[in-house]
Amino acid sequence: MLELKQINKSFTRGKTQQRVLKDINMTIDDGEFVSIMGHSGSGKSTLLNIIGLLDRNFEGSYELNGIDTKALSKKQYTRFRNQNVGWVFQNFKLIDNMTVAKNIGLPLLYQGQRHADIDEKVQFVLDQVGLADKGQTYPKLLSGGQQQRVAIARAIVTQPNIVIADEPTGALDSQTTDEIMTVFKQLHAQGTTLIIVTHDEAVGVQAQRMIKILDGQVMGDADEI
């Protein structure tokens, strides 16, 4: 479970301060599939970076699985992210000069796992995203949808309990978007907590719960449905 309490965040540009997140309170239970929608600049990525443990420079408190994320040392915080969160981005963020298999295995390498174990886990998630025979190819030789599948495989190879995606279908056409959403829905069916930021209403409505952000505030949260 994750629990955000009274989150406020501001960015300073020159002499002006911009309040980007305003009094955000939110609880997301294990296994929920949540979409976060809102206009460009409304603060969605800023919020996601906090939830996904990339940013803890904010006011308020954030507890994930009962752990106060601000109480962790820098090293513990990084390890906590690596163990609990898988990230998927709009532009995939794959390393082009590494094979697909090496890209996917990277988070396990950071964990210090043995090569034989890494190979086995990589193949398992490649199967899961429908790319069983693509491990030895390179990202740039794949379509956008296939590259995003690789990115999802990399996000789930550590078996995180939360997968966080910032506009994961933003660079994809509608058919490829449907394919990627099918992969996400399978993950959700397996019990993964899924949080997706999207501009695309057709993507947003596929979640169980849609949270609308307007100008840094939660304007609508279909938590009760």
Of 128 and 148, CB closest to ligand ATP: 148
Q: How many CA atoms lie within 13 A of 143 on its CB side?
A: 10
Q: Considering only residues 26, 34, 35, 42, which one is a binding residue for ligand ATP as defined by CB under 6 A?
A: 42
- What does the per-residue mask of binding to ligand ATP show for 7-26, with x meaning CB under 6 A? ----x-x------x------
**Antiparallel, parallel or unpaired: β 33-37 and 209-214:** parallel
Of 45 and 192, CB closest to ligand ATP: 45
> Distances in Å between the alpha carbon of 148 and those of 37, 100, 103, 118?
20, 11, 12, 20
Of 39 and 70, CB closest to Mg ion: 39
Of 43 and 160, CB closest to ligand ATP: 43
Output the smallest distance, CB 62 to ligand ATP, in A: 16
Q: Considering only residues 40, 73, 97, 136, which one is a binding residue for ligand ATP as defined by CB under 6 A?
A: 40
Of 53 and 126, CB closest to ligand ATP: 53
Q: Which of residues 43-72 bind ligand ATP (CB under 6 A)?
A: 43-46
Amino acid at 76: Q
Q: Considering only residues 9, 26, 34, 45, which one is a binding residue for Mg ion as defined by CB under 5 A?
A: 45
Q: Considering only residues 4, 24, 32, 38, which one is a binding residue for ligand ATP as defined by CB under 6 A?
A: 38
Measured between alpha carbons, how far is 208 from 210 in angstroms, rounded to an integer? 7
Q: Which residue is nearest to Mg ion (CB)?
A: 45
Measured between alpha carbons, how far is 219 from 8 in angstroms, rounded to an integer? 15
Measured between alpha carbons, how far is 122 from 101 in angstroms, rounded to an integer? 6
Q: Considering only residues 5, 6, 41, 201, which one is a binding residue for ligand ATP as defined by CB under 6 A?
A: 41
Q: Is the dihedral of CA 207, 209, 215, 216 positive or negative?
A: negative
